[in-house]
Structure 1
Amino acid sequence: MANAVISLFKPKTLNLINNAVKLSNVLPITGVQNVRSLYSKSTLGIDGFTMQQEKTRMQMHNISDKFREKMNEYSNEDSKSMIFTEDLKNMIHLSESDEDIQLVYNMIKKFNAQNKQVRFGNYVFGPVVMRMLHLYGKHDMAWELFNSPEMDGFFDQVMTYQILLDLLYENGKYDEVLKAVDIVKSRQLEGAKYPRNVVVLALAACYKLNTKESLDYAVKMWQELSEVGHLPMRRATTFAAGLALNQGQPAIALEILVSCRNQNYTTIRNIKVAAFADLGRVEDAIPVLKSILSDDNPGTTVHTFNKDVIEKVKNAVVQLDNPDTSLEFNRIEQMLQKQGHIADTVLDEQLCSEIQRPPMMNNRDRNQGQYQQRYQRNTQNRGKTFPYTQRPGLNDLV
């Protein structure tokens, strides 16, 4: 751990870190470690997948049983019949039982083993298969397929990585998440060694593991990100800082928070206050607590602190045993309570809250589709039709 810290922080900061353990009386942030999906279904495209399922089931209602029988026959290793793109697409969207999913598994294996020269379509199966496996909680099968040498290239899409990692995370397979992240880094798909959502899930897994080893991994990743100029998403920042806090390294937590452009986010403020309390620096925590009182304007979102963070500061104030500081903190706490600035949630619950699909993404996808239709109409009117290419990965969100 020491080498990782030395390579990450400046000498002046190292002095702070070395003194952190002496200065701090660390009170762990408490809370229920709920295991659930980190990304919402809409963000992962699972909502859209289930809609397509319903559509396919309606279209194939009268022939679905016969179709299953035929696919069971075709997917047999001894069968000379081929699995076509439409066959696999339909069976994935018809799946509704363990038997169906096993059939899809067999079809995928044969489909990918077929001579690729006869497949002229550009349909990308990786995200769709992972959505099916995520929907039915088949994390073991997903992990097996992803690691299978014979499936090389089949699951190499950034969106596929995100769905797989979220599925592993949801099922508490945090070590597997980190193993998958290392594989993703080695592949550098589309020139990206650190896809943003992959980084979030990697640090989320580290946070859930909450061990010295996971902190070592997180600090090393943070160092690598800094070296390549990668600015992590806010959720990645708070997971890394929260882990450092839980591992009794509040100084590292504070240094990680510096990378966040907006210091006014609720999670950033909460971790910062908790870290100052752990360091025994109540005088630095109090101004942060007071800041949301002055920012409180009618009609705006009420800024809050988690109840366990407030309790942490209160304990630090008691240990400081300074009458003036105690008086000031009690006054601030009463004001926060009266004005509704103390949330009835713990920091862990807030850090692990579900990541929703931003409204701007919904608008962007809709506008993208409208632009595609206009573009094709215009080119057809000129007597020419040019291929339209979406931005990489955007079609995987559908």
Structure 2
Amino acid sequence: MDMLFIKGKYESALEVLIEMKNQDVRFNHDSYVLAFAICYKLNSPESLKICTTLREDALIKGDILSRRACCFAVALALNQNEAAKAASIFSQIMNPESITCTNLNVMIHLQSNMLEPLMEILQGAAKGNVSQFVKRYEFSEEVLAKVREKVKDVPSLTARFDELYKKLHVHGQVTSYTLDALLCHTPRDRRSHTPLLHRRKVSQRTLQPLSQFLLAE
């Protein structure tokens, strides 16, 4: 399944994912990340339904879903214009202190038409008197462009946004990375130095890669 994802064969990866589900294969931390990433890449009502089912099953089983897995689920819900669902999933992320979460939160406010709270988020992030030891929030240029488009017909918000946008740029808090790039960035495991989404999944029954094992069956 992981190699299919790497090669961009998301439909085939989804078939393996469904087979894993049918075989009652227990998902681990990385399996959920990969599964939600596949659903996100497919970006369809069906993949959102599958992602939602997997997430609900994980919660029932008491499995801990990583922040990264949840971010893919949030992004998928947003892409399917399910802002309320995205907000619900986001609210359950234990530690949303990441650049990806920051930008997803902006998108949730944007799609929910919560423009005033959104301006407050940007204003809080753009404060210039923050200690150098305090982590600053960063925003995707792509996401900020969507904010500008949303507020362009409200003169008071447009002027306020333009001022905040300039401050964020001055403080180096704007990145050229798209939200998709932030989501799909593969941090390296501290122990194995293997990209997270490239790590091989192994069947506990055969010690073969899960994708190979399931396709063989």
TM-score above 0.5: yes
- Could you tell me which residue of structure 1 aligns to residue 183 of structure 2? 351
Instruction: Structure 1: give runs of 5+ residues left out of the alignment.
Output: 1-164, 364-391
Aligned length: 195
How far 1:249 moved relative to its partner?
Answer: 1.5
- Could you tell me which residue of structure 2 aligns to residue 314 of structure 1? 148
- Could you tell me which residue of structure 1 aligns to residue 59 of structure 2? 226
Q: Determine which of 87, 95, 104 is the counterpart of 1:254.
A: 87
How far 1:322 moved relative to its partner?
Answer: 4.9
Q: Secondary structure at the match of 1:291?
A: helix
CA distance in 2, matches of 1:353, 1:297: 28
CA distance in 2, matches of 1:264, 1:344: 19
Letter in 2 for 1:344: S
Aligned 1:136-155 pairs, distance under 5 A: none
Deviations 1:200-244 (A, max 9, x none): 111111111111111111112122222222221111111111111
Please tell me whether the aligned partners of residues 296 and 303 of structure 1 are also in contact (alpha carbons under 8 angstroms): no
CA distance in 2, matches of 1:243, 1:286: 24
Please tell me whether the aligned partners of residues 143 and 179 of structure 2 are also in contact (alpha carbons under 8 angstroms): yes
CA distance in 2, matches of 1:177, 1:296: 45
- Could you tell me which residue of structure 1 aligns to residue 198 of structure 2? none
Letter in 2 for 1:314: R
CA distance in 2, matches of 1:285, 1:356: 32
Question: What is the TM-score normalised by the length of structure 1?
Answer: 0.45
Aligned 1:130-279 pairs, distance under 5 A: 165-188=1-24, 193-279=26-112
Please tell me whether the aligned partners of residues 102 and 137 of structure 2 are also in contact (alpha carbons under 8 angstroms): no
- Could you tell me which residue of structure 2 aligns to residue 330 of structure 1? 162
Q: Determine which of 294, 299, 303 is the counterpart of 2:137.
A: 303
Deviations 1:138-189 (A, max 9, x none): xxxxxxxxxxxxxxxxxxxxxxxxxxx2201011221222222233344455
Please tell me whether the aligned partners of residues 303 and 341 of structure 1 are also in contact (alpha carbons under 8 angstroms): yes
Q: Secondary structure at the match of 2:152?
A: helix
CA distance in 2, matches of 1:263, 1:286: 19
Please tell me whether the aligned partners of residues 4 and 10 of structure 2 are also in contact (alpha carbons under 8 angstroms): yes
Question: What is the TM-score normalised by the length of structure 2?
Answer: 0.80
How far 1:328 moved relative to its partner?
Answer: 2.4
CA distance in 2, matches of 1:174, 1:352: 14
Please tell me whether the aligned partners of residues 231 and 259 of structure 1 are also in contact (alpha carbons under 8 angstroms): no
Q: Secondary structure at the match of 1:242?
A: helix
How far 1:300 moved relative to its partner?
Answer: 5.5
